[in-house]
Each structure stands twice: as structure tokens, then as C-alpha cells.
A and B are shown apart, each in its own frame.
Chain A
Amino acid sequence: MQYLVSVIHDSASLATPEEMAAIDVFNDRLQAEGHWVFAGGLGGPDSATVIDNRGEETMFTDGPFLESKEYLVGFWIMEAADLDAVLKLAAEGSKACNRKVEVRPFL
């Protein structure tokens, strides 16, 4: 079972060296224990472009699809047996990156 663990924050400021070090330790553990699928940090909402090609013309819109105070700044995709297992991992991930995270299952 795979889960998306989104990292939520209210600024696009990069992780501090301490946070980076903690994230590395956490990622190593995810890999060693077989929970790692993928992870990455994202550019801020200012760097987003929304594309809509449902009509005749391809529309490009500058900026995120939703303006909000808090937004996605990065994510993990984790392999875990069930919600209890991924909640534990996500709690550690939140501590490591020093940000809120949200867990959602892949269907």
C-alpha cells in the first residue's frame, strides 16, 4: 500500500542545514526499512503554471491553481502496511523536516 505524505508549509524557504541533515537520516531509514518509494522538494507556488487543454486551445495560467496561505512544499511517497504504520512514519517525517505533513492513500 502506498501513501502520499505531503509536506505543508507557509513559506517556500528552504530547509535549514539542521533540517536537511535530519531529513537525510530519516530518508536513509525509510530506504533501509523498505518504506521508501520517492521523495522530493518543490519550488514555491510562484513557480507554478496551470495548464488546461480540455478545450480547443491550450490555456496556460501563471501561478498555482489555488491561492492559499499554506501549500505543498515537498512530499514523500511511502510504502506501508496500513494507516497506523504510515502515521508513525509521517510523524517522524514531520519532526525531521520541521513542518506539517498530510497523509493520503493512493487508490
Chain B
Amino acid sequence: MSAAGAREALTQIHHEEWARVVASLTRRFGDLDIAEEAAAEAYATAVERWPADGVPANPGGWLTMTATRKAIDRIRRENKRDDKQREAQILYDDQPPEPTGVIDDDRLRLIFTCCHPALAMHTRVALTLRMVAGLTVPEIARAFLVPEATMGQRITRAKAKIKAARIPYRVPSPEDLPARVSGVLAVLFLVFNEGYLATGSGTDPIRHDLTAEAIRLARLIRALMPEDGEVAGLLALMLLTEARRTARVCASGELVALDEQDRGAWDTALIAEGHRLVRERLATGVAPGRYQILAAIGAVHTSARDIRDTDWSQVVALYDQLVRLDRSPVIALNRAIAVAELDGPEVALAAVDRLECELAGYHAYHVARADLLRRLGRSQESRTAYDKAIELAGNTAETAALTRRRDQLVSLPLSLPPSLPR
């Protein structure tokens, strides 16, 4: 095999095997730190050897074996074998897994440990990207615009807390599972959203590396928990959103609203996969959670060949269902935006205005107001709302699009084509 071929194989294997290697070493040595370091060393050895020696027949097995040797070497080197063995009981599993319908895979233990509710959200994100996704510390630091040293410390501190406070290495009990799964999904959704609408003036408006990583992790969890509706829902939601990625930013770097997107540029394979998942969940007849409902809304949008074909009554009905589950004002805002297409901008504006106390600091609230006011011909108020939205928006492509829309206000006639959310 060529050197380039070996490198490519290594990247592929890294994606497929990293979590498995870290998870099985954590199980064996009871220490995330040892597992992480040994896995990284094993990959470094593979980078050195595989281009010359060729990729082994069972690369995952080779990596786990090499990493295990590295871990044992380190434990010997530190001459603390007895201590380490004692510590090995710190991360442990005291019960055989109960028949939950959940596959007993060490990777699931790893995911639940990294996303433990006793860790701060940004710590969970960092730890999951390092331990499960296998991103390096510099990569994670860059992804979240944090200095490398800070990110390194964050991960080190998290590993120390897991060990000292004895955060267990196991799949939660069936009674705790729904809440804990939703904690894991929140981590993935945060990673995805940061990629979908990246913040910061120096970054790309869409961070494909982050959305792709979030989708990869969601696929992994879906493979491990195929029966979980919300896992399927979040994966479908991500796929249906990612499908529109290339159409969301135009050549000049502006964010393109849903009604103006070139639907021919949408990724039909991702849409088909997302629709399949949504249909699969509908077929179960089980009441959907919020990710499944959001995915269903995404499915309605991606089913319409043209913005005017969109089944808005269906979208509003789904938002009604979502509002019953989630009283968040952001959901209410999105519902109001859909209502504009069904009942007109005046009704929608009244609903949006009711959210002022809660959302005055949220840029999307001002974007919605600005667009609705523009459609009602109230240019002056619309301009003020755009100003506020531009001031609060953190995404470069979005700021550009908002600025253009604001600056077009005067020259436009009063009756405008309907504008829609992204």
C-alpha cells in the first residue's frame, strides 16, 4: 500500500476505532487518563509503522493491543502498579447491566461518563470530543476559540474530577436513562449548532468540521441505542439541516434564508436518510420527543420542492405539539414565524411581540420582528429592529445578510414576497 493509502486508511480507522480503543482501555485500567494517552501513543505508532509495514489485517485489534502494552508500560514506568490497580477500582461497574434493550458496549459507558450531569456543559463537550470523537486538544481548542492551554486544563480537570468524585463508568439504570440520554444529546446538539451557525468574527460562518463530527457521534449513538426515539430524532434533525448546508451561504458570504435557497443544491442522499428516520419513528406510534418533532418539521421543509409548496399548516401543527413539550420562548418564536405563513405577518408579529421580556437579548427575536415589520410596510420600525439584530448577531454570514436586508428597506415596494426563517 502507498504511504498516502496508509494515511487514508489510518484516518478512517481512527474514526471507526478511537472510541472503542479508549473505551476498552478505560474499562480495563479504570483510568481515563491512561486510556487516552495509551490510545494516542498507539495511533502515533501506527502513523510511523503502517506506511512502511502496511495496515494490519485487524487494525482495531492491533491498536487495542498496542495501546494496552503502552498503558502497561506507563504503569510499570511509574512504578505504581499496586496503586494503579487499586485506582482501577475507582472507575468500575458494580452490577451486570440490566436487560434494558441497550447494547452493552464500552463505548456507551464512555459516552455517559463524558456527558455526566455533574460536569459543566462546556466540559462535557470538550471531553466527548476528545475521548469519544478522538479530536486532539488543539483541534477542540480551535473549534471553540479557546486557547489550547485552557482547553487542555479543562480536559485534565474533568478527568481528575471523574476519578476523585468517582463518576461511574457504566450505562445508567433504566429509570435514569431517558434523562441521561437527553443530556448526551444536548452535548451533540451543541456541537452541531456551533458548526451550523458558528460564532466569532474570525471563523467560517458554517463549520462543517463540527457539524460532521456531531453527525458522526449521533450515528455512533444511534448504532448503540437503535431503539431510542430521541437519538433517531436528533440524527434525522442534523441530517435534514446538514443537507441544506451548501445552499445556506451564497458566494458573497451571506446567509441565505430558506425561501431564497437553491433547493437543487440540497443533498438528496442526506434528505432521504433523514426522511427514512422520521418515517421510522412515526411508524412506531410512540409519542415523539422534541428532537423527533424538530426533525419532522425539517422533513416538511425538505419535502417541498418550492417554498410555496411548503405545508405550513403541518409545520404549525408540529410546533403546537412542540410547545406543549417545551415552553421555551425560542420555540414560541419559531412557531410565530411559521404562523406568519399561515395567518399573515400581523398575527405573527403580535405573537412575537409577546416574547419581548424573555427574548429582548436574542438576535433571532429582532430578526423575526424586522422581517415581519418589513412585510407589513413599517420600514422605520423594521430598520430599528434590523439594527438591533445586527448588533446582537454573532455569525458573520448572518450579519452580512441582515445588513443587506436593512439597507434595501427604503428602495423596496410595500408588498414583498414572504420572507421565511433560515
Tell whether B168 is near chain A: CB-to-CB under 8 Å: yes
Tell whether A107 is near chain B: CB-to-CB under 8 Å: yes
Chain A, range 29-87, C-beta contacts under 8 Å to B? 81-84, 87
* Contacting pair A83 B165 (CB below 8 A): yes
Tell whether B167 is near chain A: CB-to-CB under 8 Å: yes
Give the CA-CA distance A82 to B170 in the complex, in Å.
11
Q: Which residues of A sit under 8 angstroms from B164, Cβ to Cβ?
A: 105, 107
* Contacting pair B94 A83 (CB below 8 A): no
Range class of the A interface residue count: 10 to 19
Give the CA-CA distance A103 to B118 in the complex, in Å.
10
* Contacting pair A82 B118 (CB below 8 A): no
Give the CA-CA distance A1 to B164 in the complex, in Å.
10
Q: Which residues of B sit under 8 angstroms from A105, Cβ to Cβ?
A: 164-166
Tell whether B274 is near chain A: CB-to-CB under 8 Å: no
Residue of A at shortest CB range from B117? A87
Given contacts A82-B94, A83-B116, A87-B117, 20 further A-B contacts (CB under 8 A): A1-B166, A81-B94, A81-B168, A82-B167, A82-B168, A83-B165, A83-B166, A83-B167, A83-B168, A84-B167, A84-B168, A84-B172, A84-B176, A87-B118, A103-B165, A104-B165, A105-B164, A105-B165, A105-B166, A107-B164
Can you list 13 pairs linking A and B with CB atoms under 8 Å apart?
A81-B94, A82-B166, A82-B167, A82-B168, A83-B165, A83-B167, A83-B168, A84-B167, A84-B168, A84-B172, A87-B117, A104-B165, A107-B164
Give the interface centre of A103, A104, A105 by most chain B CB atoms within 10 Å: A105
Interface size on B, residues (CB 8 A): 11
Q: Which residues of B sit under 8 angstroms from A1, Cβ to Cβ?
A: 166
8 interchain residue pairs of minimum CB distance = A82-B168, A82-B166, A105-B165, A83-B167, A83-B165, A83-B166, A105-B164, A84-B168
Q: Which residues of B sit under 8 angstroms from A82, Cβ to Cβ?
A: 94, 166-168
Give the interface centre of A1, A81, A84, A105 by most chain B CB atoms within 10 Å: A84
Q: Which residues of B sit under 8 angstroms from A107, Cβ to Cβ?
A: 164
Give the CA-CA distance A87 to B176 in the complex, in Å.
12
Q: Report the minimal beta-carbon distance from A3 to chain B, rounded to whole angstroms.
A: 8
Residue of A at shortest CB range from B169? A82
Chain B, range 82-116, C-beta contacts under 8 Å to A? 94, 116
Chain A, range 1-30, C-beta contacts under 8 Å to B? 1
Give the interface centre of A83, A103, A107 by most chain B CB atoms within 10 Å: A83
Chain B, range 130-169, C-beta contacts under 8 Å to A? 164-168
Q: Report the minimal beta-carbon distance from B98 to chain A, rounded to whole angstroms.
A: 14
Residue of B at shortest CB range from A80? B166
Q: Which residues of A sit under 8 angstroms from B117, Cβ to Cβ?
A: 87
Residue of A at shortest CB range from B94? A81
Q: Report the minimal beta-carbon distance from A82 to chain B, rounded to whole angstroms.
A: 4
